[in-house]
Amino acid sequence: MSLNVARTVGQPQEAVTDGFTLVVDALRANGVEKIYGVVGIPVTDLARVAQAEGIRYIGFRHEQAAGHAAAAAGFLTGRPGICLTVSAPGFLNGLVALANATTNCFPMIQISGSSERTIVDLQQGDYEELDQLNAAKPFAKAAFRVDRPEDIGLGVARAIRAAVSGRPGGVYLDLPAAVLGATVPAEVAQASVFQAVDPAPAMIPAPESVARALDLLTQAERPLIVLGKGAAYARADEAILSFVETTGIPFLPMSMAKGLLPDDHPQSAAAARSLVLGQADVVMLVGARLNWLLAHGQPPRWSAAARFIQVDADPVEIDSNRPIEAPVIGDIASAMAAFTDALRPGQVTVPDAWWQAIRGRTEQNVAKMHARLTADATPMNFSTALRAIRDVLDGHREAYLVNEGANTLDFGRDILPMYRPRHRLDSGTWGVMGVGMGYAIAAAVESGDPVVAVVGDSAFGFSGMEIETICRYRLPVVIVVFNNGGVYKGDEVNTHSADPAPTVLLHSSRYDKLITAFGGTGYQADTPDELGHELRAALKTGEPTLINAVIDPAAGTESGHLTSLNPRTH
């Protein structure tokens, strides 16, 4: 039965609504304005109805990239990004992005069509048969299946609430084909759709927990505030800035918290990272977790005597790696407001000796970095190429930065400063590759501002076909591929056969020519001056552009900054 017939069957005796329309009505009732996805059986008509009802549908070439886009949209907007996938293989393609959203605490909902339940449950061999609900559960914050069309509104509302409440995450919503095609009386359908009221309610921390944390800070000789991407997501920018400046405590931003406070803020300790992590005696974690990115809070990276304050929405996170002496459970915005209200003038002070140590180390590291950035390297290395990008982006602070790869990400995190909150997107907590094009598309779609994606050649390969998506929607995205011809580096030699070594890619690849096939602009850059000139030109036009930045194949290190995680090199 076609969609149009399904919507009018039984008239004039009785008006009916089908499942496709109900899904769209439920999404619209909850403020959803965009869907990222890949269409096919059985969800194609869902995308058509969404477009007809004013929801923008962004069609991708692969579900994983669509899911990453939806996750990034969730981080950037604070509302759940929606990813639409087909059944079974399409669902599985999106599952990596769903798991990544859950791990990174991005609110995202993967909506997938699925096969006939009665056949799937009896394993009778339906088209693309798969028990998708149970497959998704280990990778999602929550998972739901709607078995009746009149429950679609409820399912959408529950998925939205689960995605954004408490600690945000990925949610799976399973919509069997039979439910999408089924009809219900229009009056029943209308009554079943509703808006979730206050889906992310404030979680006010206990006053005694705030007082305990402030008391601990008053005892500190070497205090430190660590800002995680949870702090950036919270949109508590002014409250965080006020607390940092009132207390005078140095802060260290994690990569996606860069720009929450400008990187050139005088209290930033980013250039003295190793020193402050190793010597801080009281550490206040704000939306940051003591996971692998912070060496699990363990020596030798951290002082064994360090005492911790942790502000987090999830009490289960407390004590996950180190004993937390002052846990503060609540949403970041409410917690920082409570800290500001409870803080007495002069209650927290920072000894001059601590600042002198930080500034001394900062000066040393800045001088070393300057030498690397200004070296005469031919061909370009990561540092000299990133210097050219840094200089251009300094005049385009409205631009969003997407950064992925191994060495490209590691060097980029240190060299490319950020000045605005939530303008940097990278692989984050899970370290997954392939997020670049999806994140770039989401940033462009959600903001309308220019996006610069600085990606390694290996990382680009995971989602490179999405340059067609960028061109199809004429998005203001500039992609800079750091082409050193390899995974990590491109100079490894296989001495055992004629095959390339495991890490080697084609250094002669002309990635710039790929985008021209879709109507975009491509450039080849062999020097920092060429790279800077081409990036400026691309940002001026606002057109889809790809710059193939040729990097020395010998540049880079195995596993980037994570060599210690590689068993053979540990």
Question: What pLDDT is attached to residue 6?
Answer: 44
The answer on pLDDT for 2 being more than 80 is no
Cβ atoms within 10 Å, residue 15:
16
Give the separation between CA 326 and CA 508, rounded to whole angstroms.
55
Give the residue-averaged pLDDT of 300-304.
Answer: 96
Across residues 489-515, what is the average pLDDT?
A: 95
How many C-beta neighbours within 10 Å does residue 54 have? 9
Rounded average pLDDT over 485-510: 95
Backbone angles phi, psi at 218, to 5 degrees: -65, -20
Q: What is the pLDDT of residues 419-444, one digit of tens each?
A: 999 999 999 999 899 999 999 999 99
Torsion angle in degrees (nearest 10) through CA of 461, 56, 91, 143: 130
Say yes or no to pLDDT of 566 above 90. Answer: no
Q: What pLDDT shows up at residue 128? A: 85
| 461 vs 566, more confident | 461
Strands (E), 257-306: 282-286
Q: Domain ranges in the chain?
A: 3-192, 207-359, 374-569
pLDDT averaged over every residue in the chain: 95
The owner of tokens 């942790």 is 310
Cα(237)–Cα(400) distance, integer angstroms? 18
Give ∠ CA 95-59-435 in degrees, rounded to 5.
45
SS3 253: strand
Tokens 């459970």 — which residue? 329
- pLDDT tier, 490 (very low <50, low <70, confident <90, very high otherwise): very high
pLDDT in tens, 358-408: 999 999 999 999 999 999 888 999 999 999 999 999 999 999 999 999 999
Give which of 33, 23, 39, 126 is closest to 76, Cα–Cα: 33
The encoded tokens of residue 375 equal 């070296």
- Which residues are CB-neighbours of 486 under 8 A, at least 6 positions away? 457, 458, 492, 503, 504, 505, 507, 553, 556
pLDDT of 1 strictly over 60: no
**What's residue 445's pLDDT?**
98
Over range 543-547, report the average pLDDT: 98
* DSSP result, 432-475: -SS-HHHHHHHHHHHH-S-EEEEEEHHHHHHHGGGHHHHHHTT-
Q: Which of 452, 518, 443 is nearest to 480 (CA)?
A: 452
Q: What is the pLDDT of residues 178-223, one digit of tens each?
A: 999 999 999 999 999 999 999 999 999 999 999 999 999 999 999 9
Q: Which helix (H) or strand (E) holds 73?
A: helix 63-77
Question: Is 90 exceeded by the pLDDT of residue 9?
Answer: no
Question: Tens of pLDDT along 67-78?
Answer: 999 999 999 999
pLDDT tier at 4 (50, 70, 90 boundaries)? very low
Same fold, 3-192 and 374-569: yes
pLDDT attached to residue 121: 83
DSSP state of 20: H
Element (H, E) at 190: helix 186-192
Backbone angles phi, psi at 163, to 5 degrees: -70, -35
Residue 400: both structure tokens together: 């969003």
Q: What is the model's pLDDT at position 559?
A: 73
Count Cβ atoms below 10 Å from residue 154 Cβ, excluding itself.
17
From 315, 254, 261, 305, select the one nearest 283 (Cα to Cα).
305
DSSP per-residue string spanning 166-184: SS--EEEEEEEHHHHH-EE
**pLDDT value of position 315:** 96
Instruction: Let me know: does 224 contact 269? Beta carbons within 8 Å.
Output: yes
Please answer whether residues 429 and 293 qualify as being in contact, where contact means their C-beta atoms are separated by less than 8 angstroms.
yes
What CA–CA distance (Å, rounded) separates 315 from 311?
A: 9
Three-state SS letters, 81-150: EEEEECCCHHHHHHHHHHHHHHHHCCCEEEEEEECCHHHHHCCCCCCCCCCHHHHHHHHCCEEEECCCHH
In the predicted model, what is the mean pLDDT of residues 102-120? 93
Q: Give the per-residue pLDDT at 3.
A: 40
Q: Are strands 183-185 and 16-18 parallel, antiparallel or unpaired?
A: antiparallel
Q: What CA–CA distance (Å, rounded) separates 252 from 268?
A: 6
Domain 3-192 = CATH 3.40.309.10: no
Higher pLDDT residue, 194 or 1? Answer: 194
Class of domain 374-569: alpha beta
Specify whether the CB–CB gap between 400 and 442 falls below 8 A.
no
pLDDT at residue 568 is higher than 70: no
Percent composition of the chain: helix, strand, coil (DSSP 3-state, to 5): 45, 15, 40
Length of the chain: 570
Task: Answer whether residue 519 shows pLDDT above 60.
Answer: yes
User: What is the tens place of the pLDDT at every residue in 56-68?
Assistant: 999 999 999 999 9
β-strands 108-114, 170-176 pairing: parallel
Query: How many CB atoms within 10 Å of residue 565?
Result: 12
- Two tokens, residue 11: 């008239």
Fold of the 207-359 domain:
Rossmann fold (3.40.50)
| Range in 113-117, 155-159, 226-230, 308-312 with the lowest mean pLDDT | 113-117
Lowest mean pLDDT among 147-156, 244-253, 488-497, 553-562: 553-562
Check residues 524 and 377 and name the one with the higher pLDDT: 524
Higher pLDDT pick, 50 / 6:
50
Share of the chain above pLDDT 90, in %: 91
Q: Over range 253-273, report the average pLDDT.
A: 97
Measured in degrees and rounded to the nearest 5, phi and psi for residue 83 equal -115, 125
